[in-house]
Amino acid sequence: MENIIAEAIKFIETIFKNDFSGHDYFHSLRVYNIARTIAEKEGADIDIVSLAALLHDVDDIKLSPQTYEKKENAVKFLKSKNVSDIVITQICNVIDEMSFNGIDSVVPSTIESKCVQDADRLDALGAIGIARVFAYGGSHNREMYNPDILPVMGMSKEEYRNHVSTSINHFYEKLFLLKDMMNTSSGKEIAGKRESYMKSYVEEFMLEWDGKDC
């Protein structure tokens, strides 16, 4: 399985070589590394966790909506490496349970799903999480901040997917909710530290925006 994991790393490097939205090759690698660390502590299947983490964005609805439903890119890669149908189904189930969808977000059904979901959400927090917010916002022509546009809370899956907001609002609409949605003790511990840093940043941003840091 280690050879397949190595091939998956090469595969995602090709897939994401021109992505500048924060869902790039290095994002998937960070999720992979964090997920493996959590999986080792939680006693999860490392191979399932590794491949799901590496392939979790290759059919993301924001990046590849035409392959999203059937996970065509992930399935095609795994079949090309002669991975069994049972394992492919397990990997696809993990990927299916990862996304944040507002109040319709799924609570993972397996320990493998919990590890990968936590890892993906951890990469949305902290210093790198802040950088990814603005990278994604810039790539989608979103305003950095507009005091006339207030955050919308409690959105459903469809409302969240169709919602156009500002980058600063994204902290309130999603990111500051993630710590309490973590599944594992490892995830909760890391999330607490990263969220604290993120909240300090947003506080400083608002002080500077209003000219009150002088």
The CA distance from 159 to 176, in Å, is 18
The CA distance from 166 to 133, in Å, is 10
pLDDT in tens, 32-43: 999 999 999 999
Size of the chain, expressed as the number of residues it contains: 214
pLDDT of 63 reads: 81
* Structural tokens at position 162: 């169709």
pLDDT in tens, 74-124: 999 999 999 999 999 999 999 999 999 999 998 999 999 999 999 999 999
CATH number of the structural domain 2-209: 1.10.3210.50
The CA distance from 153 to 150, in Å, is 9
End-to-end CA distance of the chain: 57
Give me the percent of the chain exceeding a pLDDT of 70. Answer: 100
Average pLDDT value for residue range 148-175: 95
The CA distance from 161 to 98, in Å, is 15
* 153 band by pLDDT with thresholds 50, 70 and 90: very high
| pLDDT top residue among 208 and 214 | 208
Q: pTM (2 decimals)?
A: 0.94
Residue ranges covered by each domain of the chain? 2-209
pLDDT in tens, 43-74: 999 999 999 999 999 998 888 889 989 999 99
pLDDT of 116 reads: 98
Residue type, 178: L
Give the chain's mean pLDDT.
Answer: 95
pLDDT of 1 reads: 87
Residue appearing with tokens 């947003």: 202
pLDDT of 65 reads: 87
Residue 91 CB coordination number (10 Å): 27
* 176 band by pLDDT with thresholds 50, 70 and 90: very high
Q: Tell me which residue of 38, 16, 20, 39 sits closest to 28, measured CA to CA.
A: 16
Phi-psi region of 24 (alpha: psi -120 to 50; beta: other; left: phi over 0): beta
* Structural tokens at position 167: 């980058």
The residues, any chain, with a CB within 8 Å of residue 98's CB and separated by 6 or more, are: 56, 113, 116, 117, 120
